[in-house]
Structure 1
Protein backbone atom coordinates (compact mmCIF):
# COMPACT_ATOMS: atom_id res chain seq x y z
CA UNK A 1 0.00 0.00 0.00
CA UNK A 2 1.54 3.29 -1.13
CA UNK A 3 0.70 6.30 1.02
CA UNK A 4 1.43 9.83 -0.14
CA UNK A 5 2.05 12.06 2.89
CA UNK A 6 1.79 15.87 2.68
CA UNK A 7 2.78 18.46 5.29
CA UNK A 8 2.47 22.22 4.79
CA UNK A 9 1.34 23.13 8.32
CA UNK A 10 4.57 24.88 9.33
CA UNK A 11 7.55 26.28 7.42
CA UNK A 12 8.18 23.05 5.50
CA UNK A 13 6.57 22.03 2.25
CA UNK A 14 7.13 18.29 2.52
CA UNK A 15 5.90 15.09 0.90
CA UNK A 16 6.89 11.45 0.82
CA UNK A 17 5.68 8.13 -0.53
CA UNK A 18 5.58 5.41 2.12
CA UNK A 19 5.17 1.70 1.46
CA UNK A 20 3.00 0.60 4.39
CA UNK A 21 3.50 -3.08 3.68
CA UNK A 22 7.29 -2.86 3.68
CA UNK A 23 7.41 -0.11 6.32
CA UNK A 24 9.79 1.87 4.13
CA UNK A 25 9.98 5.20 2.35
CA UNK A 26 10.19 5.20 -1.43
CA UNK A 27 10.94 8.88 -1.92
CA UNK A 28 10.71 12.29 -0.31
CA UNK A 29 11.06 15.98 -1.06
CA UNK A 30 11.27 18.76 1.52
CA UNK A 31 11.48 22.52 1.02
CA UNK A 32 11.91 24.95 3.94
CA UNK A 33 9.82 27.82 2.60
CA UNK A 34 8.27 29.68 5.49
CA UNK A 35 5.55 30.89 3.11
CA UNK A 36 4.36 30.18 -0.40
CA UNK A 37 3.34 26.54 0.03
CA UNK A 38 0.53 26.81 -2.50
CA UNK A 39 2.97 27.66 -5.29
CA UNK A 40 5.21 24.65 -4.59
CA UNK A 41 3.14 21.78 -3.18
CA UNK A 42 2.24 20.13 -6.50
CA UNK A 43 5.83 20.35 -7.74
CA UNK A 44 7.04 18.77 -4.49
CA UNK A 45 4.52 15.94 -4.89
CA UNK A 46 5.60 15.47 -8.50
CA UNK A 47 9.24 15.25 -7.43
CA UNK A 48 8.39 12.61 -4.81
CA UNK A 49 6.52 10.46 -7.32
CA UNK A 50 9.42 10.73 -9.75
CA UNK A 51 11.90 9.65 -7.07
CA UNK A 52 9.64 6.71 -6.16
CA UNK A 53 9.17 5.81 -9.85
CA UNK A 54 5.40 5.86 -9.35
CA UNK A 55 2.43 7.50 -11.05
CA UNK A 56 -0.53 9.05 -9.27
CA UNK A 57 -2.49 5.91 -10.09
CA UNK A 58 -0.15 3.88 -7.86
CA UNK A 59 -1.09 5.89 -4.74
CA UNK A 60 -3.54 4.05 -2.47
CA UNK A 61 -4.14 6.70 0.23
CA UNK A 62 -3.09 10.19 1.26
CA UNK A 63 -1.97 11.41 4.68
CA UNK A 64 -2.00 15.12 5.44
CA UNK A 65 -1.07 17.33 8.36
CA UNK A 66 -4.21 19.11 9.61
CA UNK A 67 -2.52 21.34 12.19
CA UNK A 68 -2.23 23.04 14.57
CA UNK A 69 0.00 25.24 12.49
CA UNK A 70 -0.05 28.10 10.03
CA UNK A 71 -3.63 29.04 9.15
CA UNK A 72 -2.86 29.32 5.43
CA UNK A 73 -0.36 26.45 5.35
CA UNK A 74 -2.80 23.99 6.88
CA UNK A 75 -5.48 24.93 4.37
CA UNK A 76 -3.07 24.47 1.45
CA UNK A 77 -2.16 20.93 2.52
CA UNK A 78 -5.69 19.85 3.34
CA UNK A 79 -7.03 21.26 0.07
CA UNK A 80 -4.34 19.46 -1.93
CA UNK A 81 -5.00 16.17 -0.14
CA UNK A 82 -8.76 16.38 -0.56
CA UNK A 83 -8.48 17.34 -4.23
CA UNK A 84 -6.12 14.48 -5.02
CA UNK A 85 -8.22 12.01 -3.03
CA UNK A 86 -11.31 13.03 -4.97
CA UNK A 87 -9.57 12.82 -8.35
CA UNK A 88 -7.91 9.47 -7.60
CA UNK A 89 -10.94 8.04 -5.75
CA UNK A 90 -8.88 7.12 -2.70
CA UNK A 91 -9.08 8.01 0.99
CA UNK A 92 -7.36 10.95 2.69
CA UNK A 93 -6.40 10.74 6.37
CA UNK A 94 -5.82 13.76 8.60
CA UNK A 95 -2.98 13.62 11.14
CA UNK A 96 -2.28 16.37 13.68
CA UNK A 97 1.17 17.91 13.91
CA UNK A 98 1.17 17.17 17.64
CA UNK A 99 0.62 13.42 17.29
CA UNK A 100 3.21 13.22 14.52
CA UNK A 101 5.79 14.99 16.70
CA UNK A 102 4.89 12.66 19.57
CA UNK A 103 5.32 9.61 17.33
CA UNK A 104 8.77 10.85 16.31
CA UNK A 105 9.60 11.37 19.99
CA UNK A 106 8.53 7.84 20.96
CA UNK A 107 10.96 6.43 18.41
CA UNK A 108 13.82 7.94 20.46
CA UNK A 109 12.15 7.39 23.86
CA UNK A 110 10.07 4.19 23.59
CA UNK A 111 7.70 3.32 26.41
CA UNK A 112 7.68 6.84 27.86
CA UNK A 113 4.82 9.34 28.33
CA UNK A 114 5.12 12.28 25.92
CA UNK A 115 3.88 15.84 26.31
CA UNK A 116 3.96 17.73 23.02
CA UNK A 117 3.56 21.52 22.96
CA UNK A 118 3.98 24.03 20.14
CA UNK A 119 3.61 27.80 19.94
CA UNK A 120 5.13 30.97 21.33
CA UNK A 121 2.12 32.68 22.91
CA UNK A 122 0.80 32.51 26.48
CA UNK A 123 -1.42 29.63 25.40
CA UNK A 124 0.26 26.68 23.72
CA UNK A 125 -1.19 23.93 21.55
CA UNK A 126 -0.71 20.65 23.38
CA UNK A 127 -1.33 16.92 23.27
CA UNK A 128 -0.50 14.41 25.99
CA UNK A 129 0.26 10.72 25.45
CA UNK A 130 0.70 7.87 27.91
CA UNK A 131 3.52 5.33 27.88
CA UNK A 132 1.58 3.15 25.40
CA UNK A 133 1.25 6.03 22.95
CA UNK A 134 -2.45 6.63 23.57
CA UNK A 135 -3.72 10.21 23.64
CA UNK A 136 -4.86 11.14 27.15
CA UNK A 137 -5.24 14.89 26.69
CA UNK A 138 -5.80 17.38 23.91
CA UNK A 139 -5.47 18.64 21.35
CA UNK A 140 -6.21 21.88 23.19
CA UNK A 141 -4.66 25.13 24.32
CA UNK A 142 -2.94 25.27 27.69
CA UNK A 143 -0.83 27.75 29.62
CA UNK A 144 2.88 27.06 30.15
CA UNK A 145 2.21 26.73 33.88
CA UNK A 146 -0.38 24.00 33.22
CA UNK A 147 2.09 22.15 31.00
CA UNK A 148 4.77 22.32 33.69
CA UNK A 149 2.37 20.70 36.14
CA UNK A 150 1.40 17.95 33.66
CA UNK A 151 5.03 17.25 32.82
CA UNK A 152 5.98 16.92 36.49
CA UNK A 153 3.03 14.71 37.38
CA UNK A 154 3.63 12.24 34.55
CA UNK A 155 7.44 12.42 34.15
CA UNK A 156 6.86 13.16 30.50
CA UNK A 157 9.32 13.47 27.67
CA UNK A 158 8.79 16.96 26.25
CA UNK A 159 8.57 17.66 22.52
CA UNK A 160 7.68 20.49 20.16
CA UNK A 161 9.08 23.99 19.75
CA UNK A 162 7.77 24.94 23.23
CA UNK A 163 9.48 21.99 24.94
CA UNK A 164 12.59 23.93 25.97
CA UNK A 165 10.46 26.74 27.39
CA UNK A 166 8.38 24.35 29.50
CA UNK A 167 11.50 22.53 30.68
CA UNK A 168 13.18 25.77 31.77
CA UNK A 169 10.07 26.86 33.66
CA UNK A 170 10.11 23.50 35.45
CA UNK A 171 13.79 24.00 36.38
CA UNK A 172 14.97 21.39 33.87
CA UNK A 173 15.50 17.70 34.36
CA UNK A 174 13.29 16.56 31.46
CA UNK A 175 14.26 14.54 28.43
CA UNK A 176 13.41 16.49 25.28
CA UNK A 177 12.53 15.11 21.85
CA UNK A 178 12.25 17.07 18.59
CA UNK A 179 12.15 20.83 19.20
CA UNK A 180 10.13 21.61 16.09
CA UNK A 181 6.71 22.80 14.96
CA UNK A 182 6.18 19.73 12.80
CA UNK A 183 7.48 16.17 12.52
CA UNK A 184 9.55 14.40 9.92
CA UNK A 185 7.20 13.69 7.02
CA UNK A 186 7.41 9.90 7.33
CA UNK A 187 5.61 9.95 10.68
CA UNK A 188 2.45 11.35 9.07
CA UNK A 189 2.47 8.42 6.67
CA UNK A 190 3.16 5.88 9.40
CA UNK A 191 0.29 7.11 11.56
CA UNK A 192 -2.10 7.10 8.60
CA UNK A 193 -1.05 3.55 7.71
CA UNK A 194 -2.23 2.35 11.12
CA UNK A 195 -5.68 3.91 10.84
CA UNK A 196 -8.66 2.26 9.21
CA UNK A 197 -10.22 4.18 6.33
CA UNK A 198 -13.44 5.86 7.47
CA UNK A 199 -14.25 7.92 4.41
CA UNK A 200 -14.24 11.08 6.54
CA UNK A 201 -12.59 14.02 4.80
CA UNK A 202 -9.68 15.66 6.64
CA UNK A 203 -10.43 19.09 8.08
CA UNK A 204 -8.07 21.79 9.37
CA UNK A 205 -7.57 21.78 13.13
CA UNK A 206 -7.54 25.32 14.46
CA UNK A 207 -7.26 25.79 18.23
CA UNK A 208 -7.27 29.59 18.05
CA UNK A 209 -8.91 32.06 15.66
CA UNK A 210 -6.83 33.46 12.76
CA UNK A 211 -4.82 36.65 13.33
CA UNK A 212 -6.44 38.35 10.33
CA UNK A 213 -9.69 40.21 11.03
CA UNK A 214 -12.04 41.94 8.58
CA UNK A 215 -11.67 45.72 8.71
CA UNK A 216 -14.74 47.71 9.70
CA UNK A 217 -13.25 51.11 10.46
CA UNK A 218 -12.91 52.13 6.81
CA UNK A 219 -16.03 50.36 5.51
CA UNK A 220 -18.03 52.49 3.06
CA UNK A 221 -21.83 52.63 3.19
CA UNK A 222 -23.76 51.06 0.34
CA UNK A 223 -25.36 53.45 -2.19
CA UNK A 224 -28.74 54.65 -1.03
CA UNK A 225 -28.24 53.56 2.60
Structure 2
Protein backbone atom coordinates (compact mmCIF):
# COMPACT_ATOMS: atom_id res chain seq x y z
CA UNK A 1 0.00 0.00 0.00
CA UNK A 2 1.36 3.39 -1.06
CA UNK A 3 0.37 6.15 1.34
CA UNK A 4 0.67 9.92 1.29
CA UNK A 5 1.00 11.49 4.76
CA UNK A 6 0.30 15.18 5.44
CA UNK A 7 1.06 17.23 8.55
CA UNK A 8 0.10 20.88 9.09
CA UNK A 9 -0.58 20.66 12.84
CA UNK A 10 2.24 22.97 13.90
CA UNK A 11 4.84 25.14 12.16
CA UNK A 12 5.82 22.41 9.69
CA UNK A 13 4.17 21.87 6.33
CA UNK A 14 5.17 18.27 5.69
CA UNK A 15 4.35 15.40 3.35
CA UNK A 16 5.85 12.01 2.68
CA UNK A 17 5.22 8.92 0.58
CA UNK A 18 5.26 5.69 2.57
CA UNK A 19 5.30 2.14 1.26
CA UNK A 20 3.40 0.22 3.95
CA UNK A 21 4.09 -3.16 2.36
CA UNK A 22 7.85 -2.68 2.49
CA UNK A 23 7.72 -0.56 5.67
CA UNK A 24 9.87 2.19 4.14
CA UNK A 25 9.53 5.86 3.33
CA UNK A 26 9.96 6.59 -0.39
CA UNK A 27 10.19 10.37 -0.36
CA UNK A 28 9.38 13.50 1.62
CA UNK A 29 9.30 17.27 1.54
CA UNK A 30 9.14 19.46 4.66
CA UNK A 31 8.98 23.24 5.09
CA UNK A 32 9.16 25.05 8.43
CA UNK A 33 6.68 27.83 7.74
CA UNK A 34 5.07 28.92 10.97
CA UNK A 35 2.11 30.15 8.90
CA UNK A 36 0.94 29.92 5.30
CA UNK A 37 0.21 26.20 5.06
CA UNK A 38 -2.65 26.74 2.61
CA UNK A 39 -0.39 28.50 0.10
CA UNK A 40 2.34 25.85 0.19
CA UNK A 41 0.77 22.48 0.97
CA UNK A 42 0.01 21.33 -2.57
CA UNK A 43 3.53 22.18 -3.72
CA UNK A 44 4.93 20.27 -0.73
CA UNK A 45 2.77 17.25 -1.61
CA UNK A 46 3.87 17.32 -5.24
CA UNK A 47 7.52 17.55 -4.19
CA UNK A 48 7.08 14.52 -1.90
CA UNK A 49 5.39 12.52 -4.67
CA UNK A 50 8.19 13.42 -7.07
CA UNK A 51 10.79 12.37 -4.51
CA UNK A 52 8.90 9.10 -4.04
CA UNK A 53 8.69 8.50 -7.77
CA UNK A 54 4.91 8.02 -7.88
CA UNK A 55 1.84 9.92 -9.05
CA UNK A 56 -1.46 10.68 -7.38
CA UNK A 57 -3.22 7.76 -9.08
CA UNK A 58 -0.78 5.29 -7.52
CA UNK A 59 -1.77 6.23 -3.97
CA UNK A 60 -3.87 3.83 -1.91
CA UNK A 61 -4.56 6.06 1.12
CA UNK A 62 -3.93 9.50 2.62
CA UNK A 63 -2.86 10.00 6.24
CA UNK A 64 -3.20 13.33 8.04
CA UNK A 65 -2.40 14.76 11.45
CA UNK A 66 -5.67 15.87 13.04
CA UNK A 67 -4.38 17.69 16.13
CA UNK A 68 -4.45 19.11 18.66
CA UNK A 69 -2.45 21.87 17.02
CA UNK A 70 -2.79 25.01 14.94
CA UNK A 71 -6.45 25.81 14.37
CA UNK A 72 -5.91 26.97 10.78
CA UNK A 73 -3.21 24.41 9.97
CA UNK A 74 -5.43 21.52 11.00
CA UNK A 75 -8.27 22.73 8.80
CA UNK A 76 -5.90 23.04 5.84
CA UNK A 77 -4.38 19.59 6.32
CA UNK A 78 -7.61 17.73 6.98
CA UNK A 79 -9.58 19.39 4.18
CA UNK A 80 -6.76 18.68 1.72
CA UNK A 81 -6.53 15.03 2.80
CA UNK A 82 -10.28 14.55 2.50
CA UNK A 83 -10.39 16.30 -0.85
CA UNK A 84 -7.63 14.09 -2.26
CA UNK A 85 -9.27 10.99 -0.84
CA UNK A 86 -12.58 11.90 -2.45
CA UNK A 87 -11.02 12.69 -5.84
CA UNK A 88 -8.87 9.55 -5.87
CA UNK A 89 -11.53 7.30 -4.27
CA UNK A 90 -9.15 6.18 -1.52
CA UNK A 91 -9.48 6.33 2.29
CA UNK A 92 -8.26 9.24 4.42
CA UNK A 93 -6.94 8.23 7.84
CA UNK A 94 -6.50 10.61 10.78
CA UNK A 95 -3.78 10.35 13.42
CA UNK A 96 -3.58 12.65 16.45
CA UNK A 97 -0.41 14.56 17.20
CA UNK A 98 -0.48 13.10 20.71
CA UNK A 99 -0.51 9.46 19.60
CA UNK A 100 2.27 10.20 17.09
CA UNK A 101 4.42 11.82 19.79
CA UNK A 102 3.68 8.93 22.15
CA UNK A 103 4.77 6.43 19.50
CA UNK A 104 8.10 8.21 19.11
CA UNK A 105 8.60 8.30 22.88
CA UNK A 106 7.79 4.58 23.07
CA UNK A 107 10.45 3.85 20.46
CA UNK A 108 13.03 5.52 22.70
CA UNK A 109 11.70 3.99 25.93
CA UNK A 110 9.91 0.73 25.06
CA UNK A 111 7.57 -0.94 27.52
CA UNK A 112 6.69 2.27 29.36
CA UNK A 113 3.54 4.32 29.79
CA UNK A 114 3.69 7.64 27.91
CA UNK A 115 2.08 10.99 28.67
CA UNK A 116 2.02 13.07 25.49
CA UNK A 117 1.32 16.69 26.40
CA UNK A 118 1.32 19.96 24.49
CA UNK A 119 1.45 23.43 26.01
CA UNK A 120 -1.87 24.92 24.95
CA UNK A 121 -1.23 28.32 26.53
CA UNK A 122 -3.68 29.96 28.95
CA UNK A 123 -2.36 27.52 31.59
CA UNK A 124 -3.84 24.59 29.60
CA UNK A 125 -2.15 21.28 28.87
CA UNK A 126 -3.49 19.23 25.95
CA UNK A 127 -2.76 15.71 27.08
CA UNK A 128 -3.25 12.02 26.41
CA UNK A 129 -1.98 9.12 28.51
CA UNK A 130 -1.02 5.81 26.91
CA UNK A 131 -0.25 2.54 28.70
CA UNK A 132 2.73 0.24 28.10
CA UNK A 133 1.06 -1.18 24.98
CA UNK A 134 0.33 2.36 23.70
CA UNK A 135 -3.40 1.91 24.32
CA UNK A 136 -5.11 5.21 25.14
CA UNK A 137 -6.15 5.43 28.81
CA UNK A 138 -6.90 9.17 29.13
CA UNK A 139 -7.78 11.96 26.74
CA UNK A 140 -7.10 13.63 24.48
CA UNK A 141 -8.34 16.35 26.79
CA UNK A 142 -7.49 19.69 28.36
CA UNK A 143 -5.81 19.30 31.77
CA UNK A 144 -4.29 21.66 34.27
CA UNK A 145 -0.57 21.46 34.91
CA UNK A 146 -1.19 19.86 38.30
CA UNK A 147 -3.51 17.24 36.77
CA UNK A 148 -1.00 16.40 34.05
CA UNK A 149 1.80 16.19 36.60
CA UNK A 150 -0.25 13.87 38.80
CA UNK A 151 -0.94 11.53 35.86
CA UNK A 152 2.72 11.42 34.90
CA UNK A 153 3.84 10.65 38.46
CA UNK A 154 1.16 8.00 39.09
CA UNK A 155 1.86 6.19 35.81
CA UNK A 156 5.65 6.59 36.03
CA UNK A 157 5.28 7.80 32.48
CA UNK A 158 7.73 8.90 29.84
CA UNK A 159 6.95 12.47 28.79
CA UNK A 160 6.65 13.77 25.24
CA UNK A 161 5.58 17.05 23.67
CA UNK A 162 6.13 20.73 24.34
CA UNK A 163 4.66 20.55 27.85
CA UNK A 164 7.14 17.87 28.99
CA UNK A 165 9.60 20.35 30.58
CA UNK A 166 6.73 22.12 32.39
CA UNK A 167 5.48 18.85 33.86
CA UNK A 168 8.95 17.72 34.90
CA UNK A 169 9.61 21.07 36.60
CA UNK A 170 6.25 20.99 38.40
CA UNK A 171 6.94 17.47 39.67
CA UNK A 172 10.28 18.52 41.04
CA UNK A 173 12.12 15.43 39.85
CA UNK A 174 13.46 13.96 36.65
CA UNK A 175 11.47 12.06 34.02
CA UNK A 176 12.52 10.16 30.97
CA UNK A 177 11.60 12.49 28.14
CA UNK A 178 10.97 11.74 24.48
CA UNK A 179 10.59 14.36 21.74
CA UNK A 180 9.96 17.87 23.09
CA UNK A 181 8.25 19.16 19.96
CA UNK A 182 4.78 20.21 18.80
CA UNK A 183 4.42 17.48 16.19
CA UNK A 184 6.01 14.17 15.26
CA UNK A 185 8.08 13.23 12.23
CA UNK A 186 5.92 12.94 9.13
CA UNK A 187 6.82 9.26 8.62
CA UNK A 188 5.44 8.46 12.08
CA UNK A 189 1.98 9.59 10.96
CA UNK A 190 2.27 7.38 7.88
CA UNK A 191 3.27 4.30 9.89
CA UNK A 192 0.49 4.75 12.44
CA UNK A 193 -2.14 5.35 9.75
CA UNK A 194 -1.04 2.22 7.88
CA UNK A 195 -1.44 0.20 11.08
CA UNK A 196 -4.90 1.71 11.76
CA UNK A 197 -6.39 1.20 8.35
CA UNK A 198 -9.49 2.93 7.03
CA UNK A 199 -12.14 4.15 9.48
CA UNK A 200 -14.18 7.28 10.01
CA UNK A 201 -13.36 10.32 7.91
CA UNK A 202 -10.76 12.45 9.70
CA UNK A 203 -11.78 15.73 11.27
CA UNK A 204 -9.73 18.30 13.19
CA UNK A 205 -9.33 17.64 16.90
CA UNK A 206 -9.87 20.98 18.61
CA UNK A 207 -9.54 20.95 22.38
CA UNK A 208 -10.50 24.62 22.61
CA UNK A 209 -12.19 27.18 20.38
CA UNK A 210 -10.44 29.40 17.88
CA UNK A 211 -8.61 32.44 19.26
CA UNK A 212 -10.20 34.71 16.66
CA UNK A 213 -13.63 35.94 17.71
CA UNK A 214 -15.89 38.71 16.33
CA UNK A 215 -15.28 42.10 17.91
CA UNK A 216 -18.36 43.20 19.83
CA UNK A 217 -18.09 46.75 18.48
CA UNK A 218 -18.61 45.50 14.93
CA UNK A 219 -21.70 43.37 15.61
CA UNK A 220 -24.84 45.12 14.41
CA UNK A 221 -27.99 44.59 16.50
CA UNK A 222 -30.84 42.86 14.71
CA UNK A 223 -33.69 45.20 13.81
CA UNK A 224 -36.71 44.80 16.03
CA UNK A 225 -35.13 42.39 18.46
CA UNK A 226 -37.80 43.18 21.03
CA UNK A 227 -40.31 41.06 19.14
CA UNK A 228 -37.84 38.28 18.64
CA UNK A 229 -38.21 38.34 14.84
CA UNK A 230 -35.99 40.12 12.30
CA UNK A 231 -37.71 43.10 10.71
CA UNK A 232 -40.40 43.53 13.35
CA UNK A 233 -40.43 46.44 15.78
CA UNK A 234 -42.43 46.87 18.93
CA UNK A 235 -45.24 48.82 17.29
CA UNK A 236 -44.49 48.13 13.68
CA UNK A 237 -45.23 45.49 11.09
CA UNK A 238 -42.80 44.20 8.54
CA UNK A 239 -39.99 46.56 7.48
CA UNK A 240 -40.93 49.06 10.17
CA UNK A 241 -44.32 50.05 8.74
CA UNK A 242 -47.06 51.06 11.10
CA UNK A 243 -49.51 48.24 11.84
Whether the TM-score (by the shorter chain) exceeds 0.5 is yes
Q: Measure, in 2, the Cα distance between the counterparts of 1:214 and 1:208.
A: 16
Deviation at 1:167, TM superposition (A): 0.3
Paired residue for 1:133? 134
Shift of 1:215: 2.1
What is the CA-CA distance between 1:61 and the residue it aligns to? 0.2
Equivalent in the alignment of 1:147: 148
What aligned pairs does 1:80-95 form with structure 2 within 5 A after superposition? Answer: 80-95=80-95
Consecutive unaligned residues in structure 2, runs of 5 or more = 224-238
Aligned equivalents of 1:85, 1:186: Cα separation in 2: 19
Mapped partners of 2:4, 2:161: distance in 1: 24
Paired residue total = 224
User: Which protein is bigger by CA-based radius of gyration?
Assistant: 2
Secondary structure of residue in 1 paired with 2:218: coil
2:231 corresponds in structure 1 to none
Structure 1 CA distance, aligned partners of 2:103 and 2:112?
A: 11
Partner of 2:210: 210
Write the distance in 1 (CA, Å) between the matches of 2:31 and 2:216: 37
Q: Which residue of 1 aligns with 2:197?
A: 196
Counterpart residue number, 1:35: 35
Please state whether the residue corresponding to 1:80 is helix, strand or coil: helix
Q: Deviations over 1:67-105 (max 9, x none)?
A: 100100000000100000000000000110000111111
Asked if the contact 2:93–2:197 (Cα under 8 Å) also holds between the matched residues in 1, the reply is: no
Query: How many angstroms apart in 1 are the aligned matches of 2:84 and 2:51?
Result: 19
Report the CA distance between 1:220 and its aligned residue.
Answer: 3.7
Higher relative contact order (CA 8 A, sep 6+): 1
Equivalent residue, structure 1, for 2:49: 49
CA-based RMSD: 1.3
**SS of residue in 2 equivalent to 1:194:** helix
- In the superposition, the TM-score normalised over structure 1's length comes to 0.96
Give the equivalent residue in structure 1 for 2:183: 182
Instruction: Structure 1: give runs of 5+ residues left out of the alignment.
Output: none
Deviation at 1:221, TM superposition (A): 5.2
Structure 2 CA distance for partners of 1:174 and 1:50, relative to 1, 3 Å: same
